[in-house]
Structure 1
Amino acid sequence: MTKKPDNPERSARRRRWIVGLVLLAAFLSLALLNLSSWLFLRHMGRYFQRDLAAHLTSVASLSSRLLEAEYYPTPESLQDDVQRSLVRAALLRLQVENDLQAVYLIDRDYRVVLASRPELLEGELLGYLVEDSSAIRQAWQGVPAASTLHVIAGNRFLSAFAPVGLAPSGPAFVLAVEANAAFFDILRVFRRGLVVGSAVSLALLLLFGATLTWSIRALLRAEESLRRRERLAAMGQMAATVAHEIRNPLGIIKGTADVLKQRYGRGQADELFDYIPEEVERLNRLITDFLLLSREPDLKLETVDLGALVERVVKLAEHESAGPVECAVEENLPPVACDPAAVERVLLNLLRNAREACGAEGKVSVAVELESGGRERAVCVAVRDTGPGFPGGEEGKRVFEPFFTTKPTGTGLGLAVAETLVRAHGGRVEARNLPGGGAEVRFCLPV
C-alpha cells in the first residue's frame, strides 16, 4: 500500500506548531526558573530577617540583664553624672562586643535617655521608634521584642527592645539595640544579578526564537522553491512534448488557411480568412507562455533605452487593442541591460490585461521613471488602469501564480510570465490597487 504524500500546507502548519511549542516551552522554563529564583531570594530575605530579629532579641534581653546586674539604672540613679558615664560606657561596650549599630535607653515618651553613639542626643525623639510602638509596648510589659525592618537613607537596620530596671509602674527604661541588616546588601547583589540574568536570558530567548522562526521560514521558502522547480521541470517536459505535438498541426492549419484564402478569397473581404490565422497565432502565444513558465528564460541582453522601447511597445499595443494609452517617460533615464524582446512581451501582457480589466471606455496609462533607493537604482515601468482592481484577501496574494485568474476566459499566465521574465533580469514586479480605484502593476529593472 503506497503512502499518501504529505500536504505541503499541513506540513508547514505542523512545523509552525512545533516552533511555537518549542518557544512556549523555552519561555515557560525561563519564566519558571526566574520565578523560582525570585521566590528563593524573597524566602532568604525573610529567613535572614527572622534570624536577625531573633538574634537581636536575645542580645537585647541579655544586655538588659547585664546592665541591671552591674548598674541597675533607674531615673534617680542616672541623675548622678558618674553613674551616667558608667552606663554610657557600658552601652558602648555592648555595641562593640556585639557588633551593633547603636545601643541606647529610651523612656516612655520614646526619647533617648542615654546612647552609645554621640549622634543620638539625649532627649531626642526618634521618629522611627513610633513605628516600633508595638514592639516597644511589649518591652514595657516585660517581654523583649524585635521591630520591623527600617530603611533610612538607604541604610537597612533592625531594632530589638528589652526592659531595664524596675520602677513602681514597671520597668524603668527600655533598652534598644540596633543592627545593620547587611545581609540585604548581599541579597541586593544577587537580585541585581538575577535582573541582569533574566534580561540576558530573555534577550537570548527572543534571539533564539527569531533565529528559529527565520530558519523555519527559510526552510519553507526553500521547500516551496524546490517544489516549484520540480513542478516547473515536470511542466517543462510535458510542455516541450505538447508544444511539438500542437504546433505541428497548427502550422498545417495555418498553411491550409493561407491556401484557401489564395484559392477562394481573391478579391473578397471575408473575415473568416483572417480569423483562422489570428486564432492560430493566439494559440502559439499561449504555448510560448506555457514554455516560458516551465524553464529558465534564455535572455539576450542588450544595453537599451527603456523609455524609447516602452514608447514603441505602447504604440503597438494601441494599434492591437484599438484603444489609447497614455505614456509618460522621465527624461534622461540611464540605459538598462535587458532583453528587448522579453521586456516587450512583459509590457504587452500587462497592457492587454489592463485593457481587458477596464474595457474600451476605461483609461490605461504607462509611466517610466528612475527609482533611487540607497545603493540600488532601477528604471521602473508602471502600468495603470481604471478597472475594478485586484481581488482582496488571499486571492490578491495569488495574482502572480500560474493559471490563477479571475476572468472567465483567462489563462492565468500573463502576470506569471511577466514575473518570470522580470525576475530573470534581476528585477522585481509588484501589483497593487490604487487608492482612487483601479490597479497598478509595476516592474523595475536594475541599472
Structure 2
Amino acid sequence: MKFLGKSKYSTWLVIFVVLIILVFNASNWYIYSKIKFFLTQQLGERLANIASATAFGIDTQKIIKIREDEQACKDIKNFLENVKQNNRLADVFILDQDYHNILDSASDVSSEAFLNLDLPAITQALTGTKTHSHLYQVGDYYFESGFAPIYDSTGRVIAVLGVEADADFFQVLSSFKKTLIGAFVLSLIGIVILGIFFYNLSSHTRKVEDALIKSSALQAMGEMVATISHEIRTPPGDHQRNGRKIE
C-alpha cells in the first residue's frame, strides 16, 4: 500500500511538472507570436510608406525612357541607392507591368526568382494601392517588402516601386526567438531540478514519518510486553493481597 501511495504521488508530481513546462512554453510562444506579428506589421507599414514616398518623388519621365536613355537609367539608380542607404534597406527596385525589374539586364533573372513570393502584393500595387508582403522564410533567410504604384502624368500606373527590409531587423527577430528558446531550456532544467529536489525532500519526509511511526509502535509494543511480563511474574497471592489492601 505504501508503495502504491508513493507511486501515485510520484505520478502526480511528474504531471504537475509537465503541466508547468507546457504552460510556460505555451505562454512564451504566444508572447513571441504576438510580438513577431506586431513588429512585422509595423515593419510592413513602414516599408509601404517608404515605397510610396519614393514613388512620389521619382521622375516618371525617366522611368518611361529608362531603357533607351543611359543617363536616365544612371540617375534612377543613384536616386534609389540614396533611398536605400538613407533608410537602411536591403534593396530598392522598380518593376514594370510584366513584373520585370527594369534596372536589371535581360539575362539577370536571379532577383526575379524571389518576386514570385511577392506576387499578390505586387499585383495589388499595380491596381494603385500601396501595400506590403507577408513575412516569409526561405531557408535561413527572412523576407518582407513594401510596394507602391508609380503613376505617369495622366494618373495611370506604369510601374511598381519595391523596397526590401534590411537583414538587421530579421537578425533581431531571430535573436529574440533564440532568447526565448534559451529561456525555455533553462526553465525546463530549473523545473526538473526543483521537481527532483521536492521529490527527494518529500521522500525524506515520508521516511522520517515512517521511522517515527515504527518507533512509536515499537515503544507501545515494548510497554505492552513489559506490562504482560509484569503480570506474568506477579504471583496470584500478591494480587489477592493487593486487592485486600485496596479494599
Q: Same fold (TM over 0.5)?
A: yes
Distance 1:32 1:183, change over 3 A: farther
Farther-moved stretch of structure 1 (190-199 vs 44-53):
190-199
Distance 2:136 2:199 in 1: 49
Does the residue aligned with 1:89 lie in a helix, a strand or coil? helix
How many Å separate the matches in 2 of 1:153 and 1:245? 91
Q: CA deviation at 1:37?
A: 2.7
- 2:52 touches 2:148 (CA, 8 Å); kept in 1? yes
* Counterpart mapping for 1:223-372 below 5 A: 223-243=209-229, 245-246=231-232
Change (3 A) 1:161 1:241: closer
Within 5 A, what are the aligned runs for 1:6-155? 20=12, 24=16, 28=19, 31-68=22-59, 71-74=61-64, 76-114=65-103, 121-123=104-106, 124-125=108-109, 126-152=112-138, 154-155=140-141
TM-score normalised by length of structure 1: 0.45
In angstroms, what is the RMSD of aligned CA positions?
A: 3.5
Task: Give the superposition deviation at 1:245.
Answer: 4.9
Q: What is the letter of the counterpart of residue 196 of structure 2?
A: A
SS in 1 for 2:157: coil
Q: Provide closer, same or farther for how the CA distance between residues 153 and 36 of structure 1 changes in structure 2, counting only shifts above 3 A.
A: closer
Q: Look up the match of 2:240.
A: none
Task: Give, in angstroms, the shift of residue 154 of structure 1.
Answer: 2.5
Q: Which has the higher contact order (CA 8 A, sep 6+)?
A: 2
Q: TM-score, normalised by structure 2?
A: 0.77
Whole-angstrom distance in 1 between the partners of 2:47 and 2:210: 73
Aligned residue identity for 2:132: A
| TM-fit CA distance, 1:168 | 8.8
- Aligned match of 2:201 in 200, 212, 215? 215
Q: For 1:155 and 1:21, locate their aligned partners in 2 and report how far apart those are by CA, in whole Å.
A: 42
- Inter-partner Cα distance in structure 2 for 1:190 and 1:140: 35
Q: Residue 193 of structure 1 corresponds to which residue in structure 2?
A: 179
Q: Is the 8 A contact 2:89 2:165 kept in 1?
A: yes
Pair 242,77 (structure 1): closer, same or farther in 2 beyond 3 Å: closer
Cα 1:211/1:98, change in 2 over 3 Å: closer
What residue ranges of structure 2 are gaps of 5+ in the alignment? 236-247
**Alpha-carbon distance change, 111 to 57 in structure 1, aligned in 2, over 3 angstroms:** same
The one-letter code sitting in structure 2 at the alignment partner of 1:206 is V
SS at the partner of 1:109?
coil
Q: Structure 1 or 2: larger strand share?
A: 1
Please give the per-residue CA displacement for 1:376-425, whole angstroms capped at 9, x wherever unaligned: xxxxxxxxxxxxxxxxxxxxxxxxxxxxxxxxxxxxxxxxxxxxxxxxxx
Q: Aligned letter for 2:92?
A: V
Secondary structure of the equivalent of 2:72? helix
Choose from 144, 155, 158 the match for 2:144: 158
Could you tell me which amino acid in structure 2 is paired with residue 45 of structure 1? K
For residues 171 and 201 of structure 2, what CA distance do their matches in structure 1 show? 44
User: Residue 174 of structure 1 corresponds to which residue in structure 2?
Assistant: 160
- Larger-gyration structure (1/2): 1
Offset at residue 180 of structure 1 (A): 2.0
**Structure 1 residues 168, 190: closer, same or farther in 2, change over 3 A?**
closer
Cα contact 2:13–2:195 (8 A) shared by 1: no
CA–CA separation in structure 1 for the residues paired with 2:121 and 2:36: 21
Query: Aligned to 2:144, what secondary structure does the other structure show?
Result: strand
Counterpart AA for 1:166: D
Per-residue Cα deviation, 1:363-384 (whole angstroms, up to 9, x for no partner):
xxxxxxxxxxxxxxxxxxxxxx
Q: How far is the alpha carbon of 1:248 from its aligned partner?
A: 8.8
Post-superposition offset of 1:246: 4.5
